Structure 1
Amino acid sequence: MNLLSVSNLNVNFKMKKQELAALIDVSFTLNRGERIAIVGESGAGKSILGFSIVNLISKPGYIKSGSIKLENKELTKMNLRQLQEIRGKRIAMIFQDPMMTLNPVLTIGDQLVETIRSHTKITYKDARNIAIEKLHNVQIASPETRFDQYPHELSGGMRQRVIIASVLLLNPDIIIADEPTTALDVTIQAEILQLLLAICRDNGVALVLISHDLGVVSKVAERTLVMYAGHIVEEGPTLEIINDPQHPYTQGLLNALPQMTLPGQRLNQIQGSMPSLTERPTGCAFHPRCPYATEKCQQEQPSFIHSGVSSVACFLVEDMVNDFANQDEEDR
């Protein structure tokens, strides 16, 4: 049984005059201990998908249809009290800005202890010992000292370590990390990613890493979902997607990485921009930016087709797969 199963998920934003689709028929699974990534530009729907998993979509957004199951439990049908039992305890979230999570007027220790005691019936002393142990586990020096400090007294990287420690307090099955290293410099980014990877491996925790950077994803995730305008357009093993990207959008994301250009050259970029919810084009949403788009792409939405070990929603790939199959038949 999959640990997490998302099936045909549709998330809309209900405006005064219209409903806008933010996620469209999104489906994927996550196994226990597996690490997956969700990548795409800003506006692709990555964070909305992450928030949807624990039903944290704020109005006017709402889950219109579809299923989100944690093992055999349907999360979309749960009331607030039931969801509070899941949030933090079974599924925990790490946000890109730790100051949005940490309370500036409470010490680090008070916040960690409060988290533990809100879900368990243990003494303050025991909760304090657990908190200090978790701070030690995320490689925070002098955890007893940090326990009594306020968030503003810590560096950005240290605060992110505190957040990781906080999500480990209740031993969750899944961690959803939404751009957890965006606000950090490159050196600290690498340290945080290695820490997150080690923690998930050592504790058998499944990870959903949300990122716009395929370079970051390649270091952590076993499997990658590429999102564009609310759709998943490619899914497969991370190394396969990086070494042999199938969808033109995935190819564009990889070509835009800084390491894909020589020093002194202009960075590559995908022409155009992500469509807004009010300007979603017909057919394949990527067609206005795609160098291979045809009239069919403008009119119809492509279905997923298997290409090697990946699944891709693209008519170009579909034609190539069909041509290869036909050629194979003729050779026989």
Structure 2
Amino acid sequence: MSLLEVNNLDVRFALRRGDVKALRDVCFTLDRGERLGIVGESGAGKSVAAFSLLNLIAKPGYIAGGSVRFDGQELTGMSDRALRRIRGHRISMIFQDPMMTLNPVLTIGEQMIECLKAHRRIASREARAIALRKLQQVQIPSPEARLDQYPHELSGGMRQRVIIAIALLLDPDIIIADEPTTALDVTIQAEIMALLLELCEKHNVGLILITHDLGVVSQVTQRMLVMYAGRVIEQGPTREIINAPQHPYTQGLMNALPQMATPGERLNQIPGSMPSLDNLPSGCAFHPRCSFTQRADGSERSACHSQVPEFVTSGNCRVACHMVTEMLERERIPAEETTR
């Protein structure tokens, strides 16, 4: 049994004009110590998926269906009091902006000690010693002095290291990192990701990394999910998806990387934009932007416009695409004929 199992997760936002489906039938698992990446454009549903795991969706959002099981416990119907024993304790979260996460009127030490005391019966001196050890683990220089400083006195990279130290305070089983390096420059981004990877490997902590950066995903994660318009459209081993993406959207993301363009030419891009969740296209949500809705012989794949594609297994990956389904079907029929 996997440490985390998400099945058919459905998240909606209740608006005056009707419910908007932010997530549809999201399914994935995470084993202990495994690193999973979730990628996609802005609006794909990556952060909503992460917040849903701990039922942190703010109203008018709500979990409309599905299951989130952590270590055998169902989280979707769990009371807030019971969830507080898991949030920050067994599942920690690293948010995009450390200045929005840290309290500006409390010192770093006060915030770390407060976090420890919220989950454990512990003396202040012992809590401070644990906080100091965690700051040392994330390689913050002069950690004793940092405990008595305020967030505004630290650089962006140091603040993000503090956030990682707080996430590790209670030795969690899973860390959810939501765009953890967005506001940092490239050099600091690399340092933070290398640190996060090292800590997860050393302590056997599962990692869910949410990002739009395929380069980071390829270096840090073992498996990845590609999301589009609130639905997972491709998932499998990171190396296989990066080297041979099968869904047209994943192919478009890969082709949009700067290194994929010819020097001196315009960068490749996926035409159009992510559809509004309250006005999704019929059939495959990606079909208005997809160049593969038309077959090689010029005929249209009507299923792309009318049917939501089901997942099919292709190699070690699962893909929701009518084109891939047709391709696998063509491969299957000759194989059956040769065995007769």
TM (norm. structure 1) is 0.99
Deviation, structure 1 residue 84: 0.4
Q: Distance in 1 between matches of 2:332 and 2:213?
A: 34
Query: Match of 1:321, as an amino acid?
Result: L
Residue of structure 1 in register with 2:310 after alignment = 303
Query: Match of 1:295, as an amino acid?
Result: S
Q: Distance in 1 between matches of 2:263 and 2:80?
A: 52
Deviation, structure 1 residue 214: 1.0
* SS, match of residue 65 in structure 2: strand
What per-residue deviation string (whole Å, max 9, x for no partner) do you get for residues 58-111 of structure 1? 001000011000021110111110010010111100011011110011111110
Residue of structure 2 in register with 1:26 after alignment = 26
| 1:186 aligned onto 2:186 | yes
Residue of structure 1 in register with 2:37 after alignment = 37
Residue of structure 1 in register with 2:331 after alignment = 324
Q: Distance in 2 between matches of 1:246 and 1:258?
A: 20
Residue of structure 1 in register with 2:146 after alignment = 146
Q: Distance in 2 between matches of 1:130 and 1:235?
A: 38
What per-residue deviation string (whole Å, max 9, x for no partner) do you get for residues 178-237 of structure 1? 000111111111111110000000000000000111111001100000000011000000
* SS, match of residue 272 in structure 1: coil
Q: Distance in 1 between matches of 2:192 and 2:276?
A: 32
Q: Distance in 2 between matches of 1:327 and 1:126?
A: 69
Q: Distance in 2 between matches of 1:19 and 1:60?
A: 9
Q: Distance in 2 between matches of 1:136 and 1:51?
A: 29
Q: Distance in 1 between matches of 2:257 and 2:127?
A: 44
Deviation, structure 1 residue 268: 1.1
| 1:13 aligned onto 2:13 | yes
Cα RMSD, aligned residues only: 0.8
TM (norm. structure 2) is 0.96
Number of corresponding residues? 332
Q: Distance in 1 between matches of 2:35 and 2:127?
A: 29
Q: Distance in 2 between matches of 1:151 and 1:177?
A: 20
Q: Distance in 1 between matches of 2:334 and 2:139?
A: 56
Query: Match of 2:57, as an amino acid?
Result: I
* SS, match of residue 225 in structure 2: strand
| 1:242 aligned onto 2:242 | yes
Q: Distance in 1 between matches of 2:7 and 2:50?
A: 14
Query: Match of 2:304, as an amino acid?
Result: C
Q: Distance in 2 between matches of 1:262 and 1:2?
A: 43
| 1:73 aligned onto 2:80 | no
Residue of structure 2 in register with 1:315 after alignment = 322
Residue of structure 1 in register with 2:106 after alignment = 106
Q: Distance in 1 between matches of 2:266 and 2:162?
A: 38
Could you tell me which runs of 5 or more consecutive residues in structure 2 were left unpaired when the two chains were aligned: 294-300
Q: Distance in 1 between matches of 2:123 and 2:246?
A: 54
* SS, match of residue 85 in structure 2: helix
Q: Distance in 1 between matches of 2:152 and 2:84?
A: 28
Q: Distance in 1 between matches of 2:235 and 2:104?
A: 40
Deviation, structure 1 residue 118: 1.1
What per-residue deviation string (whole Å, max 9, x for no partner) do you get for residues 156-185 of structure 1? 111000000000000010000000011111
* SS, match of residue 32 in structure 1: coil
* SS, match of residue 322 in structure 1: helix
Deviation, structure 1 residue 239: 0.3
Q: Distance in 2 between matches of 1:131 and 1:261?
A: 46
Residue of structure 2 in register with 1:212 after alignment = 212
Deviation, structure 1 residue 259: 1.7
Deviation, structure 1 residue 311: 0.4
Query: Match of 1:225, as an amino acid?
Result: L
Q: Distance in 2 between matches of 1:262 and 1:151?
A: 43
Q: Distance in 2 between matches of 1:265 and 1:300?
A: 37
| 1:55 aligned onto 2:62 | no
* SS, match of residue 283 in structure 2: coil
Q: Distance in 2 between matches of 1:302 and 1:72?
A: 30
Q: Distance in 2 between matches of 1:250 and 1:17?
A: 32
Residue of structure 1 in register with 2:296 after alignment = none
Query: Match of 2:231, as an amino acid?
Result: H
Query: Match of 1:47, as an amino acid?
Result: S
Identity of aligned residues (%): 63
Residue of structure 2 in register with 1:130 after alignment = 130
Q: After TM superposition, list the pairs within 5 Å mapping 1:88-99 onto structure 2.
A: 88-99=88-99
Q: Distance in 2 between matches of 1:125 and 1:48?
A: 38
Query: Match of 1:120, as an amino acid?
Result: R
Q: After TM superposition, list the pairs within 5 Å mapping 1:145-164 onto structure 2.
A: 145-164=145-164
* SS, match of residue 336 in structure 2: helix
Residue of structure 2 in register with 1:273 after alignment = 273
Q: Distance in 2 between matches of 1:152 and 1:263?
A: 41
Deviation, structure 1 residue 49: 0.2
* SS, match of residue 199 in structure 1: helix
Query: Match of 2:64, as an amino acid?
Result: K
